[in-house]
A and B are shown apart, each in its own frame.
Chain A
Amino acid sequence: MATAAAQSTSRSPASGAQGTVDTAVYERTFDAAVAADERIEPRDWMPDAYRATLIRQIAQHAHSEIIGMQPEANWITRAPSLRRKAILMAKVQDEAGHGLYLYSAAETLGTSREELLDKLHSGRQKYSSIFNYPTLTWADVGAIGWLVDGAAITNQVPLCRCSYGPYARAMVRICKEESFHQRQGYELLHALSRGTPEQHAMAQDAVDRWWWPSLMMFGPPDDESQHSAQSMAWKIKRHSNDELRQRFVDICVPQAESLGLTLPDPDLRWNEEHGHHDFGTIDWSEFWEVLKGNGPCNEQRITQRRRAHDEGAWVREAAAAHAAKHTAGTRPGGTGGAQA
């Protein structure tokens, strides 16, 4: 945006104003930019807490893409048709790509991918609790596409208007691909639901197991969400957890009907008065247990991630050593080395 670019000099401590303008002026300029729905860019001044919150959120988002590869990759080698296998492989590949975009977005805030991965591996940063549930049948791949990606999209579409430019732009690209995955997941479940009785039962069982964890993806209720108020004031977040959760439930109910599947909630019903669906109480004790590391797959997920990283160390070291040798060789006056 041209205006943002023009103003970025006045918001940037590197523009020469440093030392002559105090922080209060930067803060006022930042607040005004956020209020005017302008994008904050990497070289702009920003409050330390804004930077820290964004690093935490973008890193957690990136980690979720990377850990989220595992439950689905679990079925790549067993996919029941070549078409489904190709779709699943492409999806898992996209997730690695999304992780890469997001680590890049986080790096614009002054951290590094290595540092963030280290925090993931040591448990100092989290990933979405949904990926601590196991994929027990093929239908789980469809349930993840429909419900988990559906919840992610509901959460992420508003992030395309997030106040931090690099994050917002990453989300535009990611949301396009996620919507595609979500439709494929829905279509997978649709095929199962209209298939043999065994396939239908498989689909229903998967939806029964993934429904509540998907609702938990929107985070704790508004009155227990520690970062929400500040994130909304900074326009990182545009809607509250409970608002987005309600929107998701309202979207899913008719989709479940057209799939010919039921949602496992006896309290789920249309509320004429509010114009929304009422739904049952989420088991928040389960949510907090999973978040603390006591979900069904927490240990397995992080162990596999660490193992891939540790077992790949020699490969990354070799690439670095090779690059060091051959960068030296291509310098002017250097000997040999492949010239591109």
Chain B
Amino acid sequence: MTPAPETPVTARSAALALGDDALVLSHRLGEWAGHAPALEEEVALANIALDLLGQARVLLSMVGDEDELAYLREERAFRNLQLVEQPNGDFAHTIVRQLYFSTYQHLLYAQLAAGDGPFAPLAAKAVKEVAYHRDHAEQWTLRLGDGTDVSHERMRRACDALWRFTGEMFQPVEGLDADWAGMEADWLKSVGAVLGRATLAVPEGPRTGAWSAGAGRQGLHTEPFGRMLAEMQHLHRSHPGASW
């Protein structure tokens, strides 16, 4: 594949990491189409998925051909966080995944937008989209956490189940100039406050482990990811060299 020459070499691995996050989460949200709990959520989830796909296309194009990168890499070459590849589960799982990720993405893009690095133009546009994603996730966290006993319990389980994937977000990414420790502190504060307002406890489990810390960024993924890629890439791979 041909790297886009204008992107500095050090920025390419960062573009791949951020692009893969957006691509993979967009794909997961796309799986909701036709299955959402209300028509308004069909619109909202598709909207978020589209924003993320748009970001992914810009970021992957900074590295090379977007379709070659999306459809012809194998699992071990993807650099996304393990968090975003997690299956949708129930609506609570999807919302918690959104809460954890969009809070992180919003903090990161706000920093990148304020800087003058190669990601500043993308981040300046994306940070507005991501602010909306974050608001959507926070509002649903409040509704579900502080809704019924059933929704509260489902949220509790989802918060716990996804907690262990959150440490990876703050492992520094090569080529990204950001205050990782400061971001992590802000993230913990913000997510903790939202969970508190939603009457949910901040999970107690570990956020980093020998396996999960930084694993996705190194191409070490969880099992559901391979199947996701098999579905995503099947048609493209079946017609080598074709254009669509």
Contact = CB atoms under 8 A, between A and B. Distances in A.
Interface of A: 66, 69-70, 73, 76-86, 89-90, 92-93, 96-97, 99-100, 103, 138, 188, 191-192, 195-196, 198-199, 304, 307-309, 311-319, 321-323, 325
Contacts of B54: 86
B53 A82 contact: yes
A76 B39 contact: no
B39 A312 contact: no
A84 B244 contact: yes
A313 B151 CA distance: 10
A314 B148 contact: yes
Contacts of B189: none
Given A314-B154, A315-B144, A199 B231 contact: no
Contacts of B148: 314, 317-318, 321
Contacts of A317: 147-148, 150-151
Contacts of A322: 142-144, 146-147
23 contacts: A73-B33, A77-B27, A82-B23, A82-B60, A83-B57, A86-B54, A89-B49, A90-B46, A92-B42, A93-B47, A96-B42, A188-B244, A191-B243, A195-B244, A199-B242, A304-B34, A307-B35, A311-B35, A312-B41, A313-B37, A316-B37, A318-B143, A321-B147
Given A80-B244, A86-B50, A315-B144, 10 more contacts: A80-B239, A82-B57, A93-B43, A314-B148, A314-B154, A316-B37, A317-B148, A318-B143, A318-B151, A322-B142
Nearest to A138: B235
Interface in B227-244: 231-232, 234-236, 239, 241-244
Nearest to A310: B37
A230 to B, nearest CB: 31
B74 to A, nearest CB: 17
Given A191-B243, A196-B239, A322-B142, A73 B34 contact: yes
A78 B235 contact: yes
A77 B231 contact: yes
Interface string B207-244: 00000000000000000000000011011100101111
Contacts of B6: none
Interface in B140-162: 142-144, 146-148, 150-151, 154
A138 B33 CA distance: 17
A315 B91 contact: yes
Nearest to B56: A82
Contacts of A92: 33-34, 42, 46
Contact of A66 (B39, B67, B142): B39
Pairs A-B, 10 closest by C-beta atoms: A312-B37, A318-B147, A318-B151, A93-B46, A73-B33, A96-B42, A315-B37, A322-B143, A73-B34, A81-B244
A80 B56 CA distance: 15
Contacts of B41: 312, 315
A308 B151 contact: no
Contact of A316 (B34, B38, B57, B242): B38
Contacts of B64: none
Nearest to A69: B34
A96 B37 contact: no
Given A82-B67, A312-B37, A195 B46 contact: no
- Range of interface residues on chain B? 35 or more
Nearest to B43: A96
A318 B155 CA distance: 11
Listed residue (B34, B41, B147) with the most chain A CB atoms within 10 angstroms of its CB: B34
B174 interface: no
A198 B238 CA distance: 10
A198 B241 CA distance: 12
Interface string B11-42: 00000000000010001001101111111111
A79 B47 CA distance: 17
B21 to A, nearest CB: 15
A99 B53 CA distance: 24
Contacts of B57: 82-83, 86
Contact of B66 (A76, A78, A82): A82
A311 B154 CA distance: 13
Given A81-B244, A191-B243, A322-B142, A304 B35 contact: yes
Contact of B38 (A80, A84, A89, A315): A315
B81 to A, nearest CB: 19
A215 B150 CA distance: 47
B127 interface: no
B70 A82 contact: yes
Interface string B67-94: 1001100000000000000000011000
Given A66-B39, A81-B67, A85-B30, A314 B50 contact: no
